[in-house]
A and B are shown apart, each in its own frame.
Chain A
Amino acid sequence: MIYLDNAATSWPKPPCVANAMTTYLQQAAANPGRSAHHMALDSARYIYEAREAISELFKAPDPLSVIFTPNGTTALNTALFGLLRPKMHVITSSMEHNSMMRPLRELENRSVALTVINCDQGFLDPFRIQAAIRQNTRLIAITHASNVTGAIFPIAEIGKIARKHGILLLVDAAQTAGTIPIDLEQDGIDLLAFTGHKSLYGPMGTGGLVFGERVDLHDVNPLIHGGTGSASEYEEQPEFLPDKFESGTPNGVGLAGMAASIRWLQEIGIDTIHKKKQALTTQLFHGLQQIPGVNIQPVPAAAAHTGVLSFTLDNMDPATAGTRLDEEYDILCRIGLHCSPASHRTMGTFPQGTIRFGIGYFNTAEEIDQAIAAISDLAKAGS
């Protein structure tokens, strides 16, 4: 089997992930932060380790400025619904995943003003963001990289624009956390939403939101209210991090796995992983480029790319190609719209979508050769 669906969920995971999760379940799976016996504390320590790992990875101001959510989508919803009120203005791009676009469209229905910056051929021009800023612009909410084309957006430049105008910057790092270095301060990011199960190589059910120092917590309403194990004498939600945004029992076992995967990532080095993925992506690109009848979506220079390639075949719709890749070649990928109709409209591939190969650290050059050969076969079919 050749797994090329890493942009959806990375697989396989490094062995330390399952080991940490097994150890947690066998030895420490009491309720963290509620009971105060030693096993509950051990459980809470696993979660604190995860907080520290994320905080180090993204250069967050404090481990306690990291809040955990079940996934990146919940993190984005927490930031968007928490911050935006009627008559405020928010700027986004035409390359957003629905995890960003749907909450923004819902907020638009609730009288929040929304500007969607068009990205020619999938590239984001920061000057267009600057030009869209109004007096009531509260937030720039933008993906760090397209989940369809793999293009990485110039987030530090956007961060500078946001700071210059006193606007907050929310970044969707679903495709970039663990892929390229992210530095909250240097990149000018105020709110960073991440997921654990993609390029952080952790399990599903993990993700979160990192708060920068410029965010006034009193301005952000929690999405979920409830028990936190703290300030229990009050019937109102506590105002401090992380508890304000972490009601309910957390995913201890998942976070134990994610903490282990981040340590693994740091040992190998994000740069090493990125270089390997870049080499495989370049190999795939050159291979596909030589096949008549294959149309690859525009790709930026390898340095500004996450390791995701989207393409179509002249002779076959993406759904048929995906089924044949799975059944005849044992190649697993993702076809269709990739939860991002806006991106496919931008790229001119709506509504049929594309075939998407998402490369991961555990892929090999041989696998890429086999994938190229399979596409070459399919591109010839019926012609």
Chain B
Amino acid sequence: MSHYVLLVQSTSHALKAEKLLRQHLIIPKLIPVPRHLSSDCGVCLRISAAEKDPIIEILKNAKMEIKSEHPFPATNRSNR
């Protein structure tokens, strides 16, 4: 199954997103931010590619800022 990662501002934001998505019966995986995406020491949300659009919709409706989204693991396309 292919995945995406969504980068948010901080661990607190990732936890807020996790909680919100669980209410919609979506279980994201919180993983360290991949080094090639950011030098941040925080976590990001790993989600299944199939659920990406509804997840982004849910987060945007909750006024949650998504810093960026990337296919995971990285492909040439994503690796800017």
Contacts and interface: CB of A to CB of B under 8 A. Distances in A.
B9 to A, nearest CB: 5
A36 B33 CA distance: 9
B40 A36 contact: no
B13 A229 contact: no
Contacts of B40: 230-233
Most chain B Cβ neighbours within 10 Å, of A34, A230, A231, A242: A230
Interface string B19-55: 1000000000011110000111111000000000000
B14 to A, nearest CB: 8
B42 A230 contact: yes
A36 B19 contact: no
A32 to B, nearest CB: 7
Interface in A171-221: none
A59 to B, nearest CB: 17
A233 B67 CA distance: 14
B16 A64 contact: yes
B32 A33 contact: no
B67 to A, nearest CB: 10
Interface stretch (A41-49, A103-111, A276-284, A352-360): A41-49
B15 interface: yes
A67 B38 CA distance: 25
B42 A33 contact: yes
Nearest to B15: A48
A46 to B, nearest CB: 10
A137 interface: no
A243 B15 CA distance: 14
A48 B68 CA distance: 23
Interface string A14-53: 0000000000000000001110100001001101100110
Interface in A235-249: 238, 240, 242-243
B12 A44 contact: yes
A356 to B, nearest CB: 38
Contact of B31 (A36, A48, A63, A64): A36
B30 to A, nearest CB: 5
B30 A36 contact: yes
Contact of B10 (A51, A63, A240): A240
A34 B41 CA distance: 6
A64 B9 CA distance: 11
Most chain A Cβ neighbours within 10 Å, of B9, B12, B43: B12
B42 A48 contact: no
Contacts of B32: 36
A229 B31 CA distance: 14
B15 A44 contact: yes
Contacts of A240: 9-10
B60 to A, nearest CB: 15
A180 B41 CA distance: 40
A34 B10 CA distance: 10
A233 B42 contact: no
A48 B19 contact: yes
B10 A230 contact: yes
Contacts of B39: 232-233
A228 B11 CA distance: 9
A238 B67 CA distance: 14
A276 B31 CA distance: 47
B8 to A, nearest CB: 9
B43 A243 contact: no
Interface string B62-77: 0000000000000000
Contact of B41 (A51, A52, A232, A243): A232
25 contacts: A33-B11, A33-B12, A33-B42, A36-B11, A36-B41, A41-B30, A41-B43, A44-B12, A44-B15, A45-B15, A48-B12, A48-B19, A51-B12, A52-B19, A63-B12, A229-B42, A230-B9, A230-B10, A232-B42, A233-B39, A240-B9, A240-B10, A242-B10, A243-B9, A243-B12
Interface of A: 32-34, 36, 41, 44-45, 47-48, 51-52, 63-64, 228-233, 238, 240, 242-243
